[in-house]
Amino acid sequence: MLAGGLITSQITDLTKSCDEIITEAEACFNEQQTGQWKIDSGRELAVRLTDDLERRYEMRGKLTGVGTGFLDLDRILNGLQFGEQTLVGARPGMGKTALGLSVVCHALFNLDVPALIVSLEMSTEALLRRMCSQHTNTPMNNLKHGNLTEKDMKSLTVFNAKLSKKPLHIVDAVDGINSSELNRVVRRAV
């Protein structure tokens, strides 16, 4: 109630941007939510576990999460699980971005699963070039230097047409983003 009232009272304030009003309302909303966490009893937890295991049993070996396109990884993880966070760590230049973009491309183009990329290292254009290169098998060097054949141009046109219809969202946060801003961006995207 308080967050809604805050938004209503600030709509007429022309000195604040829409983002500022929403940010203040979200902060108010988050304060209201504090302390309202439900604590499940052992009996409730046992029911939840049984329901989860029954659902997985009924799947009969099918992925319970979103497939990554990597069969061995999907066998280990059973796909990317809803409500879980999967972290990939490695030294620079070891292929983390390539792996992530491969998973995003598989989710988007093969499974029609929406994707949000928050990039802290690469510009949106650089990520799109990499996705395009992976998806069309066009050498990255050709894309970077503009040395494209007629065949490349046809492939890029097809890729671009497919991409324009997919639920892909990219946030370019190369200049930095804090955890509150990241939470806000993800909430708004969802």
Q: Tell me the per-residue pLDDT of 44-101, one tens digit each, with 9 for 90 and over.
A: 989 999 998 898 889 888 888 899 999 999 999 999 988 888 888 999 889 999 999 9
Report angle CA 182, 64, 107 to the nearest 5 degrees: 55
The DSSP call for residue 114 is -
Threshold 0.85, pTM exceeds? no
Reduced to 3 states (helix: H, G, I; strand: E, B; else coil), residue 170 is strand
Beta partners for residue 80, in sequence order: 66
Structure tokens given for 89: 């760590």
